């Protein structure tokens, strides 16, 4: 019997890349590969890349340099680059790093088996098209192996917003929504494999408008269809745009019991002047009023956001407006970054803010966010939360899971197992997690 070939995938960036890596592994499974956790014994190495962060391409080249010794030791080793850096710089990667055998963009990874065959025939393989054939349809059948209690499920890709700082419209393409029937079919398969919580993914997920039996469905309508699936206990979605937070989606947060009270809603800046320069198409005031409407239907919802500091031409007054907005919202989570240029985006050509000023502003903003996060977390002590346990903790008999608010919660109870959804009283708040005790039935 032929021994299966081994595939090592290293994933960078967002949850959508995590999902894509799972599907790449499934595609290559059909070509005789099984996943391995180490590049040392791999027959194929894939880097699934992200182009959002600073110096993303240079980090990829650095990682590829580390694999040179593996290639020298095993000449038949195949090395591939996938994802958004691959989409943006495919030809350059091939030219600059000859050890790379194949480069595939995020819309073409369903063609990996054919590309691998091409490489085995001694050719290089490059595919950064936006193909007409649907990768999700091609990879429709997922492996039936048992899996953990949580899963990502991509429902929408691409973005039409063209924010001045962002490469996503160029690397992922225009907004495309998957048909609702396919999503529901995949969700049922995941539940059959042991999944109890599904996070719906999209670059602009609340712009979802996938085909349904009676016309296009909104994200809220899709959530209500998922709500009908027996065995599915929790639904989340990310990442959203404020301009697409429709009335029915706001209402769902107040009426759909399976939709968790956590919402990631990036604002990026609290300055209307900077928001306009970012091409965000909303104002600080409209964002704040939107938060009010969401909290009116779900008062306990935990808000999360994204912030860019030091965007071109940002003044101290602009930055202070962002700090004022954060003070008003009171975030439970947030992600913040110094602006870094992305070649080809409008903001890259504008006057840049001094790096020292960027660093100072980021430090001040993160200090405020950290304080708010801790206040929200500390307020959980004494409360009853619902925890979906996912894996063992560091201590004997300890299990770790997530509350409905996405807080990590650990409990010492040897009777718990992955997939248990249990009522827990929070007894202590640590720096990045909560400790709890199981409540009696």
- Phi and psi at 290, nearest 5°, equal -65, -45
Distant-in-sequence contacts of 53-57, Cβ < 8 A, 24+ apart:
53/13, 53/337, 53/340, 54/338, 54/340, 55/340, 56/12, 56/84, 56/85, 57/85, 57/88, 57/89
Peptide bond into 239 cis (omega under 30): yes
**At how many degrees (to 10) do helices 284-297 and 316-329 cross?**
10
Distance CA 82, CA 9 (A): 10
CB 32 within 8 A of CB 4: yes
The CB density around residue 114, as the number of other CB atoms within 10 Å, is 12
Q: Collapsing DSSP states into helix, strand and coil, what is residue 158?
A: coil
Distance CA 256, CA 260 (A): 9
* Residue 14, annotated as binding a ligand: yes
Nearest alpha carbon to residue 16 among 161, 131, 210, 152: 152
Nearest alpha carbon to residue 39 among 86, 96, 80: 80
DSSP one-letter code for 164 = T
Distance CA 137, CA 283 (A): 39
What are the structure tokens assigned to 155, written together? 């429902």
* Residue 256, annotated as binding a ligand: no
Binding residues: 14, 50, 84, 159, 163, 166
Binding residues for [4Fe-4S] cluster: 14, 50, 84, 159, 163, 166
């Amino acid at each position: 019997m032929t021994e299966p070939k081994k595939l090592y995938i290293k994933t960078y960036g967002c949850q959508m890349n995590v999902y894509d890596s799972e599907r790449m592994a499934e595609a290559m499974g059909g070509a005789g590969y099984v996943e391995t956790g180490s590049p040392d014994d791999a027959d194929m190495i894939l880097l699934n890349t992200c182009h959002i962060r600073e110096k993303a391409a240079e980090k990829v080249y650095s990682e590829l340099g580390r694999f040179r010794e593996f290639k020298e030791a095993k000449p038949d080793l195949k090395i591939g680059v996938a994802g958004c850096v691959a989409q943006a710089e495919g030809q350059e990667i091939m030219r600059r790093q000859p050890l790379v055998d194949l480069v595939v963009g995020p819309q073409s990874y369903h063609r990996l088996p054919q590309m691998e065959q091409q490489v085995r025939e001694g050719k290089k393989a490059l595919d950064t098209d936006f193909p007409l054939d649907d990768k999700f349809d091609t990879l429709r059948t997922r492996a039936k192996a048992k899996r953990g209690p949580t899963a990502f499920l991509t429902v929408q890709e691409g973005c039409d917003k063209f924010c001045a700082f962002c490469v996503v419209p160029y690397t992922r393409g225009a907004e495309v929504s998957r048909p609702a029937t396919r999503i529901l079919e995949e969700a049922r398969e995941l539940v059959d494999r042991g999944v109890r919580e599904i996070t719906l993914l999209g670059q602009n997920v609340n712009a979802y408008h996938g085909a349904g039996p009676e016309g296009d469905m909104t994200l809220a309508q899709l959530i209500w269809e998922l709500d009908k699936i027996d065995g599915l206990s929790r639904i989340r979605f990310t990442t959203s745009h404020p301009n697409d937070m429709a009335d029915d989606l706001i209402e769902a947060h107040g009426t759909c019991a399976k939709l968790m009270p956590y919402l990631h809603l990036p604002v990026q800046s609290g300055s209307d002047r900077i928001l306009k320069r970012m091409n965000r198409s909303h104002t600080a005031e409209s964002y704040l009023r939107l938060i009010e409407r969401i909290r009116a239907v779900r008062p306990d919802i935990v808000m999360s956001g994204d912030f860019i500091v030091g965007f071109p031409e940002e003044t101290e007054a602009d930055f202070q407006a962002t700090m004022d907005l954060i003070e008003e919202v009171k975030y439970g989570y947030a992600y913040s970054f110094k602006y870094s240029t992305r070649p080809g985006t409008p903001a890259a050509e504008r006057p840049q803010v001094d790096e020292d000023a960027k660093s100072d502003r980021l430090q001040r903003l993160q200090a405020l966010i950290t304080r708010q996060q801790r206040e929200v977390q500390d307020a959980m002590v004494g409360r009853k939360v619902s925890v979906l346990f996912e894996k063992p903790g560091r201590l004997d008999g300890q299990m770790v899971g997530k509350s409905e608010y996405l807080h990590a919660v650990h409990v010492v109870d040897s009777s718990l197992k992955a997939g248990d959804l249990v009522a827990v009283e929070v007894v202590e708040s640590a720096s990045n997690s909560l400790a709890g005790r199981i409540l009696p039935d």
